[in-house]
């Protein structure tokens, strides 16, 4: 029986009472042990956090879907004019291979007006554009696409630069029809 067991010392709180640690805690805090719940048990606070997280995820996903899939998110429209000739193979390539995927991607946000330069009115409008935008002799020919005041010539430049011009135009709130003398924009 010989060994005596030592008892641990008692903590003394701020009020001087032994074992009263609660009084030593700052106002609004408690030194009591937190309640422990069994795994899977329900707490209102945890459920509120899960609900809030769920709502945040849904709102974020809806925002992403809207920004990616909205065909006319701001009402922004990019307008362009494509001068072409029906007998030109490069024009045919631009009209059948380059523009359709862009028109599908941007929907009503991209409006391209085709102008046939083999018709007298179309040729006259093409000549007005050449003069207006000071197109050099080495860049004359079709297909020619005018977007704002940028002139793209050929089946190389148009697919290379048009997608970024469309994006930039939409980011800036849209692009009006090119300012070509004698051009009357079609009614929407």
What pLDDT, on a 0 to 100 scale, did the predictor assign at position 178?
Answer: 97
* Single pTM value for the model: 0.62
Q: pLDDT tens for residues 86-107?
A: 999 999 999 999 999 999 999 9
What span, in angstroms and rounded, lies between the C-alpha atoms of 3 and 1?
6
Assigned CATH topology for domain 78-171: Glutaredoxin (3.40.30)
* pLDDT confidence of residue 22: 46
DSSP-assigned letters across all residues of 86-149: TT-HHHHHIIIIIHHHHHHHHGGGEEEEEEETTSHHHHHHHHHHHHHTT--GGG-SSSEEEETT
pLDDT at 70: 44
pLDDT at position 87: 97
Give the C-alpha separation, 25 to 113, whole Å. 76
Query: Where along the chain do its domains lie?
Result: 78-171
Tokens 């018709």 label which residue? 119
Residues of the chain with pLDDT under 70: 1-74, 188
Computed over every residue of the chain, the mean pLDDT equals 80
Residue 67 pLDDT: 46
> How far apart (Å, rounded) are the C-alpha atoms in residues 42 and 44?
7
């Amino acid at each position: 029986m010989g060994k005596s067991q030592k008892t641990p010392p008692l903590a003394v709180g701020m009020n001087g009472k032994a074992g009263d640690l609660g009084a030593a805690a700052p106002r609004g805090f408690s030194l009591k042990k937190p309640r422990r719940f069994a795994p899977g048990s329900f707490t209102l606070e945890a459920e509120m956090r899960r609900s809030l997280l769920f709502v945040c995820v849904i709102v974020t996903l809806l925002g992403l879907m809207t920004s990616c899939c909205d065909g006319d998110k701001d009402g922004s429209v990019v307008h362009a004019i494509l001068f072409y000739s029906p007998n030109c193979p490069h024009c045919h390539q631009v009209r059948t291979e380059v523009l359709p995927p862009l028109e599908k991607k941007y929907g009503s946000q991209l409006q391209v007006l085709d102008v046939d330069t083999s018709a007298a009115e179309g040729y006259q409008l093409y000549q007005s554009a050449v003069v207006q935008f000071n197109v050099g002799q080495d860049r004359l020919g079709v297909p020619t696409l005018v977007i704002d005041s940028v002139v793209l010539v050929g089946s190389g430049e148009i697919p290379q630069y048009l997608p970024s011009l469309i994006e930039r135009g939409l980011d800036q709130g849209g692009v009006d029809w090119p300012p070509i003398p004698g051009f009357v924009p079609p009614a929407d």
